[in-house]
Amino acid sequence: MRGTTRPMVRGTTGTMVRPTKPDARATGSVRRTGRPSLEAAGGAVLGIETSCDETAAAVVVDGVDIASSVVSSQVDLHTLYGGVVPEVASRAHLDLLVPLVTTALSEAEVEGRGLSGVAVTSGPGLAGALMVGVATAKALAVAWDVPFVAVNHLEAHLFAAGLDGADVPLPVVTVLASGGHTMLVVIEAPGRYRLLGQTLDDAAGEAFDKVARFLGLGYPGGPVVDRMAQEGDPRSVDFPRPLLHQGWDFSFSGLKSAVLRYTRLHPDAPTADVAASFQAAVVDVLVSKAVRAVRETGAAGICLAGGVAANSELRRRTTEACESMGVRALLPERAMCTDNAAMVAAAGWWRLAWDGPSSLETGAEPDLPLLTA
């Protein structure tokens, strides 16, 4: 996949200004105006992602133009265990990362010394997996004499929607839902975020994985529940909608337990109906809170981010809700929803422009929070 344009941010005067300094961050619209070349742009950043069970490398130019993006999934390695095994993931990253970096550079037709920087996910994530990526990124940056920049994995997901060539209106309400996190964030400007709410227990993606295991559908749970749900009746079981009208936080542990109890009491219930009803409950909560956030903040749209953003029902319901409100629905391409290095490179490009390089003393931070304004 290749992007075709470069980002701009609308300033308060209505003119378009490049956000090359921290004080240039302004609300408005992220736009693109023509495709830069690798030679002329001076902004090719290598991204590296090893936070969990995806090993990935990508080259992104000027923050949006994807010159290359390669991902090696470890799903087959972890399926036997029904979930990610940290040690297995770390060893796989060690074996895969350097060959993937070589492939990414080759496909982008750029050499390491020609990069403007090397960006890597430093957290949150699995400690051992993060260490592999951070150590490799530092070594490459030193060897090539280019800047090193540490990237927050959660912030990287917020940049994914800007990689598909669409204008991104700001401010925008973003539903960041993955296996480890469920957050409702208002992006007021690139790099300036307001956290409205987050999960109090199981994240949405985690609930999908656990319910899939209850139903005997295998791992990872998100895609298989999505497929199964398309054959079922989402109204067949009235599962609870936790915290639907209460505040901004999320809680999916009780919903997960409700599915477990139901399947034990009704062992003959059609699996497709249970999957569809569970999925409908999750989507109801996510979309309802996002819609309320748009109305209360005056945001220009709803953006989806994270692995759960690939869910077909969530994408459909989000699109319908935005159309009814007359605002934009920003849905990243499915390949950009799951962990990838293009979003890391994009976030790294912007961080280099705003803040400059990270210290080489920066280490892996498994519990790194999303910094908010």
Relative orientation angle of helices 271-297 and 204-214, to the nearest 10 degrees = 170
Mean pLDDT (the chain, rounded):
87
Q: What is the pLDDT of residues 177-219, one digit of tens each?
A: 988 899 999 999 888 999 999 999 999 999 999 999 999 998 8
Task: Show me where the domains of the chain are located.
Answer: 7-162+339-355, 171-331
Is pLDDT above 60 for 18?
no
CA 242 remoteness from chain centre: 23
Whether 171-331 and 7-162+339-355 are alike in CATH topology: the answer is yes
What is the CATH code for 7-162+339-355? 3.30.420.40
**What is the structure's pLDDT at 78?**
64
Q: Which CATH class is domain 171-331?
A: alpha beta
Query: pLDDT band at residue 95, thresholds of 50, 70 and 90?
Result: very high
For residue 302, report the phi and psi dihedrals to the nearest 5 degrees. -120, 130
What is the enclosing helix (H) or strand (E) of 168?
strand 168-169
Neighbours of 280 (CB within 10 A): 22
The residue that leads in pLDDT, 33 or 200, is 200
Is pLDDT above 50 for 317?
yes
Query: Which strands sit side by side in the sheet containing 192-198, from one edge to the other?
Result: 192-198, 182-189, 172-177, 301-305, 328-330
Is pLDDT above 60 for 133?
yes
Query: Which strands sit side by side in the sheet containing 65-73, from one edge to the other?
Result: 65-73, 54-61, 44-49, 117-123, 148-152
- Look at the block and give the residue holding tokens 């990287």: 156
- In contact, 82 and 371? CB cutoff 8 Å: no
In sequence order, the β-bridge partners of residue 197 are 184
Identify the weakest region by mean pLDDT among 242-246, 278-282, 368-372: 368-372
Sequence-ordered strand ranges (E) for 214-361: 301-305, 328-330
CA 321 remoteness from chain centre: 21
Is pLDDT above 50 for 15?
no
Identify the weakest region by mean pLDDT among 26-30, 44-48, 98-102, 215-219: 26-30
- Look at the block and give the residue holding tokens 């400059």: 356
- In contact, 203 and 210? CB cutoff 8 Å: no
How does DSSP classify residue 160? G
What is the enclosing helix (H) or strand (E) of 30?
strand 29-32
**What is the structure's pLDDT at 1?**
37
Q: What is the pLDDT of residues 318-364, one digit of tens each?
A: 999 999 999 999 999 999 999 999 999 999 999 999 899 999 999 99
**What is the structure's pLDDT at 220?**
85
